Amino acid sequence: MGDIHHLLKNTIGFGTAPLGNMFREIPEDEALSTIEAAWDAGIRYFDTAPFYGAGLAEKRLGATLGKKPRDEFLLSTKVGRYMSDETEEKEGLFADGRSNKVITDYTAEATRKSLEQSMERLGTDRLDFVFVHDISRDFHGDEWIEKFEEARTGAFRVLTEMREQGLIKGWGLGVNTTEPIELAMQLEETPPDLSLSATQYTILQHEKALQRMMPRAEAQGVGIIVGGPYNSGALLGGDHFDYTEAPQSVKDQVASLSAVAARHDVDLKAAALQFSTAHPATVAVIPGSSRPGRISEDIAALSATIPGDFWDELVQEGLISAKAPLPQA
């Protein structure tokens, strides 16, 4: 993992799911301004996926990054889905995305097709990291193991070959649950270098990740990129938690965290980012945004001073696990 740590430098990156019109339709100029704001603020790692608005996020990212020197930034996208020229009625997270039909397929042929399409939309001839997207129960139910096996003999082998040939720097999984990452780390033939774990190692939700995923990643030298550090905005008072409506139990948890933060004059956003990056396995954190003004907030939050007493109280109140590595004041 030394190479991955060296490349990412425990950095803050930019997640582009919101730019696929997640939850709302975002005007083109606002989306492009947000990416430009990230660049101007010094962010040099960008993550995207075909799933985000049926290629919309990739196209928007490409429109901006295509004008930047390619050697100056790191870029990752995902495989497991590709676009058809057919159209379909959209619903769910990306109801306001492009109308192209999205085909879910983890085979070798589909993986190559997905990458070819992504690079075209992104306007680039190379990618740095690639994640196999959503081979997990939350998308496939009980069939997720079958999908995982399809990816193991398809996408995993293609990406391992690409890594060995120097075409990409690393690959792994991009999922919203811990089990697929844990399973992938046990594979000898196609071991991942890093994985993108969304919403699972956050100040709001981390107990399960600390049982196996994070300690195994640390022990094996597999880097973890933390996506969704605010759990779809729930931590910041939003209505969504892990891409669905936030339950009352989560709102109560946020209220308790906010009360402790207020007593110590701590910004909860700063606490969230610093908590996620404090674990030795974490190589980057990538909050998403669709508003230019939020970028500088995120960067400032990562370096804000947080007193040790704040973390001590969270542990004492049972709001965070006593097993979690804590940021040093």
Residue 121: count other Cβ atoms within 10 Å of its Cβ: 20
Determine the Cα–Cα distance for residues 58 and 328; give it in Å rounded to an integer: 36
Determine the Cα–Cα distance for residues 185 and 219; give it in Å rounded to an integer: 11
**H helices present in the chain, as ranges:** 2-8, 28-40, 56-65, 108-122, 137-140, 144-153, 155-164, 179-184, 207-211, 213-220, 248-263, 268-278, 293-303, 308-316
First-last CA distance in the chain:
26
- Token duo for residue 217: 């990643």
φ/ψ (deg, to 5) at 25:
-85, 125
Angle at 255 between CA 253 and CA 260, to 5 degrees: 100
Determine the Cα–Cα distance for residues 274 and 268; give it in Å rounded to an integer: 10
φ/ψ (deg, to 5) at 77:
-135, -170
Quick check: 172 and 192 in contact, CB under 8 A?
yes
Determine the Cα–Cα distance for residues 283 and 76; give it in Å rounded to an integer: 14
**Of 253, 249, 262, 248, the residue nearest 235 (C-alpha):** 253
Quick check: 198 and 177 in contact, CB under 8 A?
no
Give the distance between the most distant pair of CA atoms in the chain: 56
Determine the Cα–Cα distance for residues 280 and 46; give it in Å rounded to an integer: 21
Catalytic residues: 52
Determine the Cα–Cα distance for residues 34 and 45; give it in Å rounded to an integer: 14
